Amino acid sequence: MVFGIQESGKTTFAAALWHLVDSEEIPTALIKGKHFGDFTYLQEISGSWAEGYEVERTKLQQVENIRVNLLHAASGDEMTLQFDDMSGETLEQAFATRYCPEKFVELVKNAEGMLLFLSANRRNDDSVTILDAFDAEEEAAQPAVDPNHWEPAKAPLQVQLVDLLQCLQRPPFEAKPMKVALVVSAWDLVPDGDTNPEKWLNDRYPLLAQYLANSEGILNLRIYGVSAQGGRLSKKKDGPGPDRENLLAIVPASKRIRIVGPEITEHDITRPLLWLAGLESAI
């Protein structure tokens, strides 16, 4: 299963993955499996990706089921990467309201591994500390807002994620203990010196890092840095993004994709999935 809040890089990953396995431009550990039914949405997003544009955001209220079936050629084993590409900040809402769609419960119950997304392009958790909050409170001698007022959406991202992940252990989910592959997306935006995704996580999201390392619901953890887009792009309607020209010069397009982490080969974002499926030793 795929797990991650809005803007964490899930759809772009799916678009790049589909291009990679559909085009067969470069060898990959897992190849495209059998697909039935309607996969227009996958084709649409991978089309935008190939043209060097950002994937379009899921329209409000529209839920796109993304299922990518992958095949391990040597063993004949198959795996499915599945997620509800939910709009309307469903997970963030779930943190505040404690409600989530029933379909999501099914997805969690059936999951045997998790691809967890976190974007390197998010700044707001870095900056504010409890000391800043104290200072602000002292300055505002007369509190303008009710001191008991709490806005869940303003809770730090790592607090929200740890809470949501913890919920998966309890009814109605009761997720099986599973392997987790954390994808730090938009890895191209991380400064060059910061080459290790594990260190990146420990520095920026220490609470989440501790939870992932110690939760009984997590059998095993791996951390990857992934640039699925390769650089900064923009939506088609907004014209070419800053890195579009450079990215289009990379041929074949699959080579725009970059991944760092344990047991990887350049460009191959099926590697985390191979590990999740327990097939790594089979190659």
Ligand X SMILES: Nc1nc2c(ncn2[C@@H]2O[C@H](COP(=O)(O)OP(=O)(O)O)[C@@H](O)[C@H]2O)c(=O)[nH]1
Q: Is 227 in the site for ligand X (CB under 6 A)?
A: yes
Q: Is 11 in the site for ligand X (CB under 6 A)?
A: yes
Q: Is 90 in the site for ligand X (CB under 6 A)?
A: no
Q: Is 46 in the site for ligand X (CB under 6 A)?
A: no
CB 230 to ligand X: min, Å:
6
Q: Is 160 in the site for ligand X (CB under 6 A)?
A: no
The end-to-end CA distance of the chain, in Å, is 23
Spell out, one character per residue from 118 to 147, where the chain touches ligand X: x when CB under 6 A holds, - when not: -x-x--------------------------
Tell me the DSSP string of the chain: -EE--TTSSHHHHHHHHHHHHHH--S--SSEE----S--HHHHHHHHHHHHT-PPPPPPTT--EEEEEEEEETTTTEEEEEEEEE--TTHHHHHHHHS---HHHHHHHHH-SEEEEEEETT--HHHH--HHHHHHHHHH-SS-SS-TT---GGGS-HHHHHHHHHHHTTSTTT-PPPEEEEEEEE-GGGS-TT---HHHHHHHH-HHHHHHHHH-TTEEEEEEEEEESS-S----GGG---TTHHHHHTSSSGGGG-EEESTT--TT-TTHHHHHHTT-GGG-
- The window from 134-142, 183-191, 211-219, 271-279 that contacts ligand X (CB under 6 A) reads 183-191
Closer of 48 and 72 to ligand X (Cβ): 48
Q: Is 250 in the site for ligand X (CB under 6 A)?
A: no
When CB distances are held under 5 to 8 angstroms depending on the partner's kind, the choice from ligand X, Mg ion, none that residue 55 binds is ligand X
- The window from 76-84, 117-125, 145-153, 171-179 that contacts ligand X (CB under 6 A) reads 117-125
Q: Is 189 in the site for ligand X (CB under 6 A)?
A: yes
Q: Is 116 in the site for ligand X (CB under 6 A)?
A: no
Q: Which residues bind Mg ion (CB under 5 A)?
A: 11, 85
Closer of 28 and 185 to ligand X (Cβ): 185
Closer of 119 and 254 to ligand X (Cβ): 119
CB 41 to ligand X: min, Å:
12
Pair 54, 241: CB distance under 8 Å = yes
Pair 10, 55: CB distance under 8 Å = no
CB 233 to ligand X: min, Å:
6
Q: How many residues bind ligand X (CB under 6 A)?
A: 24
Q: Give, in degrees to the nearest 5, the angle at Cα 226 between 126 and 192.
A: 60
Q: Is 48 in the site for ligand X (CB under 6 A)?
A: no
Of these, 180, 186, 190, 247, which contacts ligand X (CB under 6 A)? 186
Residues at the interface with ligand X (CB under 6 A): 4, 6-12, 54-55, 57, 117, 119, 121, 185-186, 188-189, 227-229, 231-233
